[in-house]
Chains A and B, each alone.
Chain A
């Protein structure tokens, strides 16, 4: 515990980060990257075919892209950073130092993207005729490129958390950035963004655009992009899966919380529906059923959520693979803590030494330092609530389980600390869960 800690005791610290991250991914991929590509293509097609209605629709989309990305999009992006600072300070602290210059570059691209987007929207009517329109479309292409660049940079950081590759030994920036999953995950995300945008937009188009001819035009553009993106996502997705560590690969199904056959069936069906939808769009653009577009939109957002949860979970117990555990503890400090004690090195622990009187309080500090990033005492997610998971356990059960917990449940980091600290942790958990101490010695003494 190098820093103070915060406790979202009901919602769960992990859930706070996940919620913000999922909203951000839907917006950054679906709106900022995917929709911008589609929108510029629509504008281009409108210009080529002299279709004023299509141009006006593209402009309307641009307005919504502007509104959504500069509010929810930008704030949830900053929000991922805010929430990790508050909840996982050690991890984000390390990432900022490793990837500092990548972040600086990201920042500059990000400013460029926003300025271009503002220009793009506000020059729409001014740059309408002939050469000016061509310039406007070029501006759109540069904007699309800038938004893709933000992804190209941040993916380096995200991928490195799962596969830091040579960095663990060299601590060199480029080893971390160009890591084993960088290219496959970038490619995968890129085309996923297009598909997500198609799913989101086509629902609103199907719903709000009454002009069938216009709708047909739009679906024509979407169909084209979809025909490229769907196979690309499939192939790149396989490459991505193939390049992650085996331990992580084995955790994919588990991390969704679904039984394997349910997982396979659901994802298979969703993929099949998407194929049907795209084919429908290409073959019969006039008659795309709205209910189908709604299902596709829902399942796409769900898939993005699943992807994010999986990506974050399969890294467990690490937050930076082979280097830092999810609770911020470094693998290299394990022996030190086992010998000298964890609390002794925990600057912010309220109790730094264990005495007769403070056992339970000291145990709480160990819990906060080592378990709270993933667990609650009794929050809504029953799988992570220890009141649920340790229901009926005595202190002795706990003290024999915890030192081996990383072997039994591979998602968990090893416990680090002295025997006294282990007993204190058990004493705290027992008081919370059972309402009393349940150590044989203690109980018989009373």
Chain B
């Protein structure tokens, strides 16, 4: 058996300098993933709040849930279209790795299409029948929970794909999607990290959304609730995330983990900065959840964007570190200024 089947790169040159494409992949990926985070957490939030409202027999939670479902169904459309950009970049820069890892879970990869169509349609039913099915809550919740379950599952397919592309030497022994879930390291740690980030981001979203809105309008009671509870959720989940982040770090190959823990100046700095900013964000969110001041929400927003940027950058560097030995042995067809490729 061949150790790692990495084919020669496509003979047509990569259409732009790789450095430029790397910047683009980080930016476009972040834009995409933030909307994915919104979609997942707002859907989960809607389902959670609606259930809570039924149990407590309190219409207030139902109203909050309705708002969340409305936002979720808009963000899911944007999340999908934004996803095309990073998919384009990763396909072009990492052709030799990404195509193989995709085809190895090909049927699961194609199932994403059906899964998301069903989830999105269910989300529309969930949103558009909110009033009409006030007395058929069971049926209504069914659509919400169905969409949520699918949205919780689909990230696993993406994670398997982008993790397995980092481990070409394990391709030969992988056997389809479900086997791959346990075949490659990092997968569940990444999933946990991602899901926590999603939920925190959803909380943060409502905090920011209504902080902005408050500057122009007087908020209604449900809205105030969403804003404060959003900050609260953001805070608590981020605290847990500090632990989950370390679990992820410890799932990396030791050589690579050490790069983040002193051996590489850039990566170590990024990691420390990200932790610092996260602590600052936690403090700001804690304050916001305790009292409805919201003065420092712009600062919270800035900190959040910083964290996001650092995370995206580190994530990219991680892939580069893993792939470096392979990239050296299997050179890519790089961009040339003239349009010839031979």
Contact = CB atoms under 8 A, between A and B. Distances in A.
Contacts of A5: 103
Nearest to A89: B99
Interface string B304-319: 0000000000000000
Nearest to B116: A75
Interface string A72-107: 101110110111011101101110111011011001
Interface string B226-237: 000000000000
Given A71-B121, A97-B13, A110-B84, A4 B103 contact: yes
Contacts of B81: 74, 107, 110-111, 114
Interface stretch (A170-178, A222-230, A370-378, A416-424): A170-178
Interface in B43-101: 74, 76-78, 80-85, 87-88, 91-92, 95, 99-100
Interface string B1-29: 01001111011111110000000000000
Nearest to A102: B15
B88 A86 contact: no
B107 interface: yes
Interface in A105-155: 107, 110-111, 114-115, 118, 122
Interface string A303-324: 0000000000000000000000
A60 B339 CA distance: 49
B5 A78 contact: no
B252 interface: no
A270 to B, nearest CB: 29
A407 interface: no
Counting contact residues on chain A (CB < 8 A from B), the size range is: 35 or more
A347 B5 contact: yes
B112 A100 contact: no
Nearest to A85: B102
Interface string A264-287: 000000000000000000000000
Nearest to B24: A104
Contact of B88 (A89, A103, A348): A103
A75 B117 contact: yes
A431 interface: no
Contacts of B83: 78
Given A103-B88, A110-B81, A111-B82, A4 B100 contact: yes
Nearest to B101: A4
Given A85-B102, A107-B85, A78 B10 contact: no
Contact of A171 (B6, B12, B88): B12
Interface in B90-132: 91-92, 95, 99-100, 102-104, 106-107, 109-110, 112-113, 116-117, 120-121, 124
Contact of B91 (A20, A75, A85, A86): A85
Contacts of A72: 117
B106 A93 contact: no
A178 B112 CA distance: 34
Nearest to A171: B339
B182 to A, nearest CB: 20
Interface in B179-228: none
B340 interface: yes
A148 B14 CA distance: 29
A90 B77 contact: no
Interface string A289-333: 000000000000000000000000000000000000000001000
A92 to B, nearest CB: 8
Contact of B95 (A74, A93, A348): A93
Contacts of B78: 111, 114-115, 118
B341 interface: yes
A6 B103 contact: yes
A103 B109 CA distance: 21
Contacts of B107: 6
Nearest to A72: B117
B329 to A, nearest CB: 13
A93 B91 contact: yes
A170 B339 contact: yes
Given A70-B80, A89-B99, A171-B341, A82 B112 contact: yes
Nearest to B83: A78
Interface residues of B, number: 47
B216 to A, nearest CB: 15
B110 A100 contact: no
A172 B338 CA distance: 9
Given A85-B91, A118-B74, A171-B340, A94 B10 contact: yes
A53 interface: no
A445 to B, nearest CB: 31
A51 to B, nearest CB: 25
- From A67, A86, A97, residue with most partner B Cβ within 10 Å: A97
Contact of A71 (B13, B95, B120): B120
B4 to A, nearest CB: 10
A212 interface: no
Contacts of A4: 5, 100, 103-104, 171
B12 A348 contact: no
A16 interface: yes
B117 A98 contact: no
A2 interface: yes
A3 interface: yes
Contacts of A347: 2, 5-8
Contacts of A82: 109-110, 112-113
B80 A100 contact: no
Contacts of B339: 170-173
Contact of A100 (B15, B74, B171): B15
B124 A67 contact: yes
Contacts of A114: 77-78, 81
Given A75-B113, A115-B78, A3 B15 contact: no
A67 B11 CA distance: 41
B156 to A, nearest CB: 16
B31 to A, nearest CB: 9
B178 to A, nearest CB: 16
A101 B21 CA distance: 11
Nearest to A101: B15
A18 B309 CA distance: 40
Interface in A60-74: 67, 70-72, 74
A100 B92 contact: yes
A200 B301 CA distance: 46
A157 to B, nearest CB: 12
A97 B7 contact: no
Given A97-B10, A347-B5, 15 more contacts: A3-B103, A74-B81, A78-B113, A82-B113, A90-B10, A92-B91, A93-B99, A103-B88, A107-B88, A111-B81, A114-B78, A118-B78, A170-B339, A171-B341, A348-B5
Closest 8 CB pairs of A and B: A100-B15, A2-B7, A347-B7, A70-B77, A6-B106, A86-B106, A71-B120, A97-B12
6 contacts: A67-B124, A74-B81, A79-B113, A89-B99, A97-B13, A107-B88
